[in-house]
Every structure is written in structure tokens, then in C-alpha cells.
Amino acid sequence: MKDKKIGFIGLGNVGNKIAYNILKNKNYSLYVFDLNKKKSKRLVSQGAILSSSIEELITSVTVFITCLPSPNAVKNVLFNAIPLLNKDHLWIEMSTTDEEDMKMLSNLVFKKKAAALEAPITGGQHRAESGNISILVAGSKKTFNRALPILSCVGHQILHCGKIGNASTLKVVTNYLASINLLAIGEALMVCKKYGLDLKTAYNGIKISSGNSFVHETESQVILNGSYDVGFTMDLVCKDVGLFNKLTKKFKIPAKISNLMLRIFKTGQKKLGKRSLSTSIVKLLEDSCSENLRYKGFPSVLVDINKKKKGIEILNDQKRF
């Protein structure tokens, strides 16, 4: 079926940007809902239709997308939505959530003869804004094909990961690795600073070396600027690393690094606040060392300078256009 009416629930830092990229595609009418109505103002001014409740949104659309800060928030929305679902509905979950919750909620959706996909995004707030974010998708291939035109409005590289639960697990793994990188980058830059290395030279040296990473190329810039602004918060890191720890316990993996990471970020959350920027974890190291990692010329916010790239499905080493 051709979906024309899309609903979007959850208009936070990332959700607002994803929703806007759907709105820009004139093939769709976009219905939006957030508990904080102020978050919908920009979208409504651009042509989105404001729903007064989740129930009103669900009855107006065939596809609804959730992008919410926690597994509990996702469950609360779905428990309101499920009684209203029918065979024409498709739920796309784009948060970073618990794989067991995702399976449970999807089964409830399937009992209503509706369809479900998990489609968490990865690649940073700046790419969410440009529409060049990557998307990990899990669910039936038939449902994936139905959703691909919508997902192509939102992202560039789109990977089908198999059955429900796979994408949630892979997203938690990628966020775990990004958080490891962040902690290591702070320590690496501090060694360079204490040694007396020029920090711009250090940044570029790491960038062209085997120690480079996506996190270094992006988050190191806002650390060196001092804004720490990646649009991601300390409580979300704790949630994601906690989900990773849950998986290690489920499979009896003696994971020592993730437990240490969780303790570090929980300390950061306690000292700096739950909604403090995740990258500001490096500030704890700066304070301990009585140093700052500032260098002029680095940006306060990240911007993807690339124009929107066409959404493509990644098929192993092939691309389907």
C-alpha cells in the first residue's frame, strides 16, 4: 500500500530533525504529537498537523513513528496506541530501546494485524538534521520494503538487520563503542596537553592515524571548543550502557569495561546533572587535572555540510538504489 499520512511521536533534539525531513517530502502529510506542545511549533509552522493526543494521531495515519528518550516512554505510547491499530497500520520505532521490550510490543502490534519495524538511527544529531543519518532496521523484509521510501527521507545508509530485536541490539552495541571512544579520547587529549603537544596538531595526528574514529572526528571538536555540544545527554548514555550491560548479563559475558564505563558516566550524571551533555564527561577529567582542552577555531556545534544524499539500502557490499 502507498502510505500518505505519517504520524510522528517524540519531538526532542533528534526527533524534531527526523520529522522535519519527512515533512519536506511533499508526498506525505505529517501529523505530530509531543507532551511538550512547544516542541511542535516549528513543524506546525512549516505545514505539519498537530494532534491533540496519541489516539487522535493514530486514527489519522497509516504509519506512526516513535522517537522517545526511554523504553518506558515507548511502552507508555504503545499501550495507548495498540487498541486503535488495524491491518493498515505500521509502527516504526526509531529510539534506542530494550530489545526484549521491542519484541513484546511488536507481538502486541502483530496481534492487531498491524506491522512493526525497529529502525534506530546512528551517526549524530548533525546528520539527523541533514538527512544523512544511518538507520539500522529490523522486521520482515516485506515491511522493510514498505517503509523504505519513508526511511529514505530521513537517512542515507539503511541496513536491514533481520528479525525484530537485531537492530535494537546492534544500536546498543554501537552506542557502547561510541561511549568507550569518548572516554578514551578525553584521556588521549589530556596526555597530549600535559606533554605540551599543540592540541590542533594532536587532533589532526589522531585523525590521520590508526587511532582515528567517527567519535574523534566529531566529538573531539566540541571538546576542544568547550561547548561539549553533541545534542546527547548523560542520562541517555547511562541508559544505553545499562542496556548493553543487560545483554552481557543475559549471555553471561564477563564484561569488565562496560561496568567501569557505567560507573564513570553515573558519576558524571551525579556531578553534572542528568541532562548535562554526554561529552562533558571529559570535564571531570579536566577538573581532576586542573587543565582545560580548549583550542581556538573548533566549532561549538557540529554541522553536516553535505547536501541530503539519496537513501540507499546497504546489502553486504552492494547498494540498492
For residue 204, what is its C-alpha cell?
589532526
Residue 300 inside a domain? The answer is no
| pLDDT value at residue 71 | 93
Percent pLDDT > 90 in the chain is: 97
pLDDT in tens, 163-175: 999 999 999 999 9
Residue 318: its pLDDT value, please?
A: 53
Task: Tell me: do 9 and 152 sit in the same domain.
Answer: yes
- Is 93 found in the same domain as 24? yes
- Confidence category of residue 1, pLDDT binned at 50, 70, 90: low
Q: List pLDDT tens digits, range 252-300.
A: 999 999 999 999 999 999 999 999 999 999 999 999 999 999 999 999 9
Q: Mark whether 155 and 173 lie in a shared domain.
A: no
Contact between 285 and 268 under an 8 Å Cβ cutoff? The reply is no
Question: Quick one: CA dihedral 219, 223, 225, 231, positive or negative?
Answer: positive
Return the C-alpha torsion angle 279, 284, 289, 292, nearest 10.
40
- pTM (2 d.p.): 0.95
Q: What pLDDT is stored for residue 321 in this prediction?
A: 45
Which CATH number fits the domain that encloses residue 71? 3.40.50.720
Fill in the DSSP letter of residue 148: H
In this prediction, residues 99-121 reach a mean pLDDT of 97
Identify the domain containing residue 245 by its residue range: 168-289
Angle at 186 between CA 182 and CA 290, to 5 degrees: 145
* Number of domains present in the structure of the chain: 2
Identify whether residues 156 and 24 lie together within a single domain.
Answer: yes
Q: How far apart are CA 226 and CA 230, in angstroms?
A: 11
In a shared domain, residues 149 and 28: yes
Q: Is the CA virtual torsion 42, 239, 287, 291 positive or negative? A: negative
pLDDT class for 217, splitting at 50, 70, 90? Answer: very high
% residues pLDDT > 70 (the chain): 98
Using 50, 70 and 90 to split pLDDT, how confident is the model at 2? confident
Whole-number average pLDDT of the chain: 96
